[in-house]
Structure 1
Amino acid sequence: MQVKEKYLNFYYETIGQVEEPKIDPRKTALLLVDLQNEFVLRDFGEALQFKEAGEWERWIPFHDRLDDIVIPNNKKLLNFFRSNNLMVTYGRIACLREDGEDRSPVQKSEGWNGMLIPVNSYAAQMIEELAPLENEIVVNKTTDSVTTGTNYLTLLQFMGIETVVVTGIVTDQCVASTVRGLADAGLKVICVEDACAAGSQELHDAELKIMSVIYCDVLSTDETIALIKKNL
């Protein structure tokens, strides 16, 4: 398989070709990261804070990418996984205490990473278009990575999962931390390039270039679905 030139990093630029991922669809899980009301909606949560701070204009490209590319592709992946009875999981930022004392220091910090999102709040819920169905696993986290401070890796082990298809926001923070955590735990990881977004396209592309091959295979939505279909 040819590594996309866009994501060909220094360590692999003389190789170019890598082995196509070998996956067992029945041992593969989809993981949607942080696609929550707080971060995605234009008339709620962070978007209102950006507008009040006079910063909204610079966030419009991020929200345009979410609405036009990321959300539709996540819906496409969800529909595919559900229609083939494959594993669907979610990771979301959500503290168990209303005062947020169970949050990590990062989430208690001042600035963009500081956030208080109680688990039962509207802000914490996945957006309506991507809401989990009954029997789909939702893991609450007070860290960036879905694998840190949660039982997610244990659940995957119990369910016999070997490959995780990762989507969500933001590419260079919670998505990247999750990809690395999964890879370090010995799982195969596919990061879906057009089902993720960062604050800027530059950050999105840079993070995927850093992670490509080393921590994950970077594929498109259509490439991911085709790969799984081929192995069904």
Structure 2
Amino acid sequence: MNQIITAIIVATLVGGGMYWQLEKANADWEEKYKIALDSRPASYGQLSKVNRVELATTTVQQKCTAEELTLIGDSIIDFEWEMEFAYGIDLPPSFEWKIDEISPKKGKVILPMISQLRPTMVEFSRIREIDPSSGDRWELLIGRAQAAASQWLELEQQNKLANDRNVIESARSSAAKFLLPLIREANPDLKYTELEVIFDGEEELEAQSARIYPDKCVLASA
């Protein structure tokens, strides 16, 4: 009988020790999970799905004159085109969100520099022949105008960004309105009512001078 009682006591002690170890392991896991949860960056929830967002649009209008002057006759054609640029952010999947607190009601986020997101396409809105041309000369002049217009649009993307502050400010305002609800959703403890948006490298834009394009449909030098 004493052996049976001893066995029961040992089993109870062993079982109690195992239960205590399991409880301790569970408590340790919960603590590690809480630490990881509290320290993870604000890149979860809807914020993690933010990638390509148009923030500001602006329309550019340009024109040039293509000429082919020869001894047997002149060919002169005016070309006009326009395009709507869309400036925004294109975030990589690995982008790390960093939200700095300026005050209990205001946060700050730094985003990559905005860029023009839409592909450039040359579509002439008006073609006016001053001295008519035909055949090969027409193909020559329209090809020259298309090449020039394509290059002008590529350069104008940066010109507009560097010299039209409305583009930056409009994009900044749109980004703040778009991101603030997502940031508050990602971290419910935040009470921000205002978000300051900074585009990385925007201060360097002020040093860039505007590119002036020639009136003729000739390719600008690189």
Q: TM-score, normalised by structure 1?
A: 0.22
- The structure with the greater share of residues assigned to strand is 2
Q: Which has the larger radius of gyration?
A: 2
